[in-house]
Amino acid sequence: MEPLYIVKVGGNIIDDAEKLRSFLKAFSSIQGKKILVHGGGKLATKLASSLSIPQQMIDGRRVTDAETLKIVTMVYAGWINKDIVAKLNAMGCISMGISGADAQTILAHKRKNADIDYGFVGDIDQVNTQALLALLEQGINIVVAPITQDASGQLLNTNADTIAQEIAKAMSNHFTTSLIYSFEKRGVMKDVSDEHSVIQQMDAALFKSMKEDQSIFAGMIPKLDNAFAAIDAGVSKVIIGDALELPDLIKGKSGTTIS
């Protein structure tokens, strides 16, 4: 099958104009079909502060009330998405920006949690692969913002890592799919204080043992949970590493590869 690269870029890269431009240049150089999924960075928090709309974070996750939903939709599906699209187009990488609500690409439901109410936060039910295939077949590179909708038309704020994973899983029936989590770190490290301690190959047994002896950075665990779920669902490989080393990540010369 033809290869498809699904790349998720982290918020710390989005917040740095120079790093974002370097990353997008690398993304635009990837040959073949590709989808970019982005998060939100700090702009939504800054805008909420300027509008005096209080923000609540629980375990690093944003509680999305009705007013915050308006802000994240404007920022994620508006400014950030279109800024990325404009930069890619200027680089000759013809792109279209969408959210999960466009063409009902990603159908979700409001998260149900007996202990914590995260507000208008969505968990994914379905990916409309036909909508994505139609764009890819026209040679259009897709840039996905982390806003989805439910069956009644309610917009929902949805985790970008999970969106990337679910798209990769859904598209693995049509392509040899590689899922790349690119952010400010060089990969999964044995020692978080040593950037040269990157684990080049990660399997389920090693992941389990590192969790048991608590030798893995807690913030990396959700990414790896997503990575192994993607592999189990048919994704060819998952790579985690430095967004500015994207070409080397794809070639397996840097980062951590899960397969």
What is the spatial distance between Cα 216 and Cα 218, in angstroms, rounded to a whole number?
6
Residue 255 has pLDDT above 90, yes or no: yes
Tokens at residue 43, please? 């702009």
Could you give the C-alpha distances from 40 to 9, 80, 147, 182, 240, in angstroms and in order? 10, 7, 10, 14, 19
Residues 6+ apart with CB under 8 A from 207: 216, 224, 228
Domain count, the chain: 1
Question: Which domain, by its residues, includes 121?
Answer: 3-258
Give the chain's length. 259
What is the spatial distance between Cα 156 and Cα 219, in angstroms, rounded to a whole number?
23
Write down the pLDDT at residue 38: 97
% of the chain residues with pLDDT over 90: 73
Measured in whole angstroms, how far is the alpha carbon of residue 148 from the centre of its chain?
13
Write down the pLDDT at residue 196: 84
The pTM is what?
0.94
Q: What is the pLDDT of residues 30-53, one digit of tens each?
A: 999 999 999 987 899 999 999 999
Residue whose pair of structure tokens reads 């950037």 in the numeric block:
195
Q: What is the pLDDT of residues 195-251, one digit of tens each?
A: 888 999 998 888 888 888 888 877 788 888 888 989 999 999 999 999 999 999 998
What strand order describes the sheet that includes 95-99?
A: 95-99, 141-145, 33-38, 3-9, 176-183, 237-242, 256-258, 201-202
Write down the pLDDT at residue 139: 97
The pLDDT mean for the chain works out to: 93
pLDDT bin (cut points 50, 70, 90) of residue 28 is very high
What is the spatial distance between Cα 57 and Cα 54, in angstroms, rounded to a whole number?
10
Q: What is the pLDDT of residues 141-192, one digit of tens each?
A: 999 999 999 999 999 999 999 999 999 999 999 999 999 999 888 998 887 7
Tokens at residue 116, please? 């914590």
Write down the pLDDT at residue 150: 98
Write down the pLDDT at residue 114: 66
CATH of the domain at 183: 3.40.1160.10
Which of 33, 233, 208, 236 is CA-nearest to residue 124? 233
Average pLDDT rounded to a whole number, residues 117-125: 94
Which of 234, 232, 231, 250 is CA-nearest to residue 242? 250
